Amino acid sequence: MPDEPIDRILDAAYACFTRHGVRRTTMDDIAAAAGMSRPAVYQYVRNKDDAFRRLATRLFDGALAEARAAAERDLPLAERLYRVTAAKLDLTLKLWQDTPHAAELLDAGARLSGDLGDKFLAEIRALLTTTIATSDLNLHGIDASEIADIALALNYGLETDLASPQRARRRLRLAIDLLLAGLAHR
């Protein structure tokens, strides 16, 4: 069990949200799952929405840390781009694997923490853009941010069919390889 009360609360919130959905989860559920009293939980989060936003922040920060580490590794460009985009895809896959309430959680995420999601996407886009711009790839006058946008659009498309995580990851790798092959051929 995590040492910090906020970590216990957020772990409990994730367990409750994935088990019951956001609408059916109560602060009592979160407190019980955290092994704390409800007043103790309120010392760390204002309400269920605040717990959701803090949890979203933690999830986004974890995915960004993975993406940043991938961008900085001494790997071929295709592998770095794959790993940066896979950090975003894996976050979505995790949610779809962990709960039958994924659609509700994503909807609640858009409503409660859309600004956090927008910031996350902007940072992923910036990582992709920098990774592409600083590579030795001949961009043929194409702005690196446009290529980053295409990579993200490919990722979005793959998120529409998450029945097989392995297939989604394989297709993402193929999409990145094809994108770079097309640029190299140009």
Instruction: State the CATH number of the domain containing residue 164.
Output: 1.10.357
Residues 22, 56 within the same domain: no
Is residue 100 domain-shared with residue 173, that is, in the same domain? yes
**CATH label of the domain that carries residue 13:** 1.10.10.60
Residues 6 or more apart in contact with residue 173 via CB below 8 angstroms: 82
Residue 116: phi, psi to the nearest 5?
-70, -40
At 176, list the tokens. 């990145």
Residue 178: domain span: 48-185
Clarify whether residues 121 and 56 are in a common domain.
Answer: yes
pTM as predicted: 0.92
Note whether 32 and 119 are same-domain residues: no
Residues 7 and 90 in one domain: no
Which structure tokens are listed for 86?
């896979």
Number of domains in the chain: 2
Q: Cα–Cα–Cα angle for 38, 44, 46, nearest 5°?
A: 75
Count the Cβ atoms, other than its own, within 10 Å of residue 84: 29
**pLDDT class for 110, splitting at 50, 70, 90?**
confident
Shared domain check, 128 and 40: no
pLDDT at position 2 over 70: no
Averaged pLDDT for residues 33-42 = 98
133-140, Cβ contacts within 8 angstroms, sequence gap of 24 or more = 135/77, 136/77, 137/77, 137/180, 137/183, 137/184, 138/183, 138/184, 138/186, 139/183, 140/183, 140/186
Distance CA 22, CA 87 (A): 24
The pLDDT tens digits of the residues spanning 62-106 come to 999 999 999 999 999 999 999 999 999 999 999 999 999 888 888
Domain stops at, among 27, 45, 63: 45
The verdict on 161 and 122 lying in the same domain is yes
Same structural domain, 106 and 150: yes
